[in-house]
Amino acid sequence: MKELSRIVKNLPQSGIRKLQEAAREIPDAIRLETGEPDFKTPDYICEAAARAMDEGFTKYTSVPGIQSLRNALAEDFSERLGIDVNTGQIVVTAGATMALDIVLGCLGNPGDEVLIPDPGWPVYTMQVMSNSLKPVPYIMPADKGFEPGRENIEPLITEKTKAIVVNTPSNPTGAVFHEETIRMILDLARKYDLYVISDEVYDYLIYEGKHISLKSLDQDGRVILISGVSKKYAMTGWRIGYAIASEEIISLMKQLMVPMIGNATAVAQKAAEAAITGPQDFVEISRRDYKKRRDAAAAVFGEENVDFYFPHGAFYMMADISCCRMDSEKFALKLLADEHVAVAPGGTFGESSRQMVRISCGTEMTALCEGIRRMCRYIKKYSG
Ligand code: PLP
């Protein structure tokens, strides 16, 4: 038979998925590898979806999403960002994952380069490559709190650079960029005429400092804001995300939505609308809970005297495993086999985090602390 797609065959494998599959074979494993809230979707959201189904809201919707959801998003983002967002600047997709993929499809032509964070969410590399674009990783230095400086980005910009992907608060590091960093990135984008794809799915999850949206400082429509309901409202399975961009970009995105999916799931859109317009207590309650978990996790690392990087946002933490002199994937697989703890290997997020592993605080406190304790024991056993 003829050869299958080389582009797909050459996409890097996700180290997180590898660990997830291995962990499924060990029923009592403590699962710290997955970036998913352990909370249940709040009742008022599920009830809105059930009502929508009862009322027969089960047909195709308009391509960019139902008007009432886009109105709610326009109002919410206008208020939070302090800028005027109208419904024509919004497209609703199947998760932020799809919004990112479609944006890349609309911005680039084959061979264009896209700057992506290292360490960064591994899906960026896969999406850039599957759109026939070239990923160019820029380092987020660990010794600078994983915030890039101009020197980490500017030398990588070429004639072919089309866009830069920015993710604050960051997966996997939990870094929350300061305003100077954000202004520096926007300044580079203007200087070299780059689009900025700003993935802000963790914007609500800040423990210290504050989130500054790159879109709120966008002067000329080059920033595409990506977000969604997955993490904020514990709705990962509902698959609703969105992009906010200039009407010109949104119009192209709508065009690409047609052959890709047509529209995001109708009842899930109703659920997302209920999430955004309903009571927001869950968001603050879960944020406080994650903060408690982060503090408890940090305390365990401190007691065990094992190096880690203190995060100020999102629900991840990077631990330093350099003393073990082991590849991060080998480390993670052996940790799983020996101690029944699953963590995400740092190498899957980029070259610069090969000597790290990521743990997710999406797991309940007791299991989280026990998992970290076991991991620290293991690091000490293999160090040196
Ligand atoms: N962006 C980042 C940085 C993420 O960590 C994730 C999920 O882990 C996503 C986007 C995907 O979100 P969604 O569930 O809306 O596709």
Query: In the prediction, which pLDDT does 328 show?
Result: 95
**pLDDT at 232 > cutoff 90:** yes
Query: In the prediction, which pLDDT does 383 show?
Result: 85
Query: In the prediction, which pLDDT does 350 show?
Result: 97
Distance CA 31, CA 122 (A): 19
Best of 171, 226, 235 for a ligand 1 pocket test (most atoms within 8 Å of beta carbon): 171
Distance 303 CA to ligand 1 centre (A): 32
**CB neighbourhood size of 344 (10 A):** 32
Average pLDDT over residues 202-211: 95
**pLDDT at 124 > cutoff 90:** yes
Asked whether the beta carbons of 367 and 296 are under 8 A apart, the reply is: no
Band of residue 38 on the pLDDT scale cut at 50, 70, 90: confident
Band of residue 13 on the pLDDT scale cut at 50, 70, 90: confident
Supply the residue whose CA is at minimum distance from atom 5 of ligand 1. Answer: 171
Average pLDDT over residues 49-53: 98
With a 6 A CB cut-off, is 171 part of the ligand 1 pocket? yes
> Which amino acid appears at position 45 of this protein?
I
> Which amino acid appears at position 198 of this protein?
S
Helix (H) or strand (E) holding 326: none
With a 6 A CB cut-off, is 230 part of the ligand 1 pocket? yes
Q: Is the dihedral of CA 312, 313, 319, 322 positive or negative?
A: negative
Average pLDDT over residues 356-380: 95
Average pLDDT over residues 163-181: 97
Best of 121, 167, 168 for a ligand 1 pocket test (most atoms within 8 Å of beta carbon): 121
Distance 237 CA to ligand 1 centre (A): 12
Q: Of 302, 301, 308, 231, which Cα lies nearest the Cα of 272?
A: 231
**Average pLDDT of every residue of the chain:** 96
Query: In the prediction, which pLDDT does 92 show?
Result: 98
Three-state DSSP state, 208: coil
Band of residue 170 on the pLDDT scale cut at 50, 70, 90: very high
Distance 2 CA to ligand 1 centre (A): 35
Band of residue 34 on the pLDDT scale cut at 50, 70, 90: confident
Band of residue 113 on the pLDDT scale cut at 50, 70, 90: very high
28 secondary structure, DSSP code: T
Best of 123, 202, 203, 358 for a ligand 1 pocket test (most atoms within 8 Å of beta carbon): 123
Three-state DSSP state, 103: helix
**pLDDT at 384 > cutoff 80:** no
With a 6 A CB cut-off, is 316 part of the ligand 1 pocket? no
Q: Which residues contact 296 (CB under 8 A, 6 or more apart)?
A: 365, 368, 369
25 secondary structure, DSSP code: T
**pLDDT at 379 > cutoff 90:** yes
With a 6 A CB cut-off, is 95 part of the ligand 1 pocket? yes
**pLDDT at 216 > cutoff 90:** yes
Query: In the prediction, which pLDDT does 191 show?
Result: 98
Helix (H) or strand (E) holding 163: strand 161-167
The 241-244 sheet, strands edge to edge: 90-93, 241-244, 223-228, 195-199, 161-167, 113-118, 134-139
Q: Of 210, 202, 204, 161, which Cα lies nearest the Cα of 185?
A: 161
**pLDDT at 35 > cutoff 90:** no
Q: Of 313, 317, 268, which Cα lies nearest the Cα of 53?
A: 268
With a 6 A CB cut-off, is 328 part of the ligand 1 pocket? no
Asked whether the beta carbons of 264 and 250 are under 8 A apart, the reply is: no
Supply the residue whose CA is at minimum distance from atom 8 of ligand 1. Answer: 35
Q: Work out the angle between the directed axes of helices 365-382 and 281-304 (0-180°, nearest 10).
A: 30
| CA distance from start to end of the chain | 51
Average pLDDT over residues 254-264: 97
Q: Of 228, 367, 243, 383, which Cα lies nearest the Cα of 304?
A: 383
- Per the listing, tokens 């990588």 go with 156
Which ligand 1 atom lies nearest to the CA of residue 240? Answer: 15
Average pLDDT over residues 208-227: 96
Query: In the prediction, which pLDDT does 182 show?
Result: 98
**pLDDT at 175 > cutoff 80:** yes
Query: In the prediction, which pLDDT does 244 show?
Result: 98
Distance 384 CA to ligand 1 centre (A): 36
Which ligand 1 atom lies nearest to the CA of residue 167? Answer: 3
Q: Of 312, 310, 300, 296, which Cα lies nearest the Cα of 375?
A: 300
The rounded percent of the chain whose pLDDT value lies above 70 is: 100
User: pLDDT tens for residues 272-330?
Assistant: 999 999 999 999 999 999 999 999 999 999 999 999 999 999 999 999 999 998 999 99
Which ligand 1 atom lies nearest to the CA of residue 35? Answer: 8
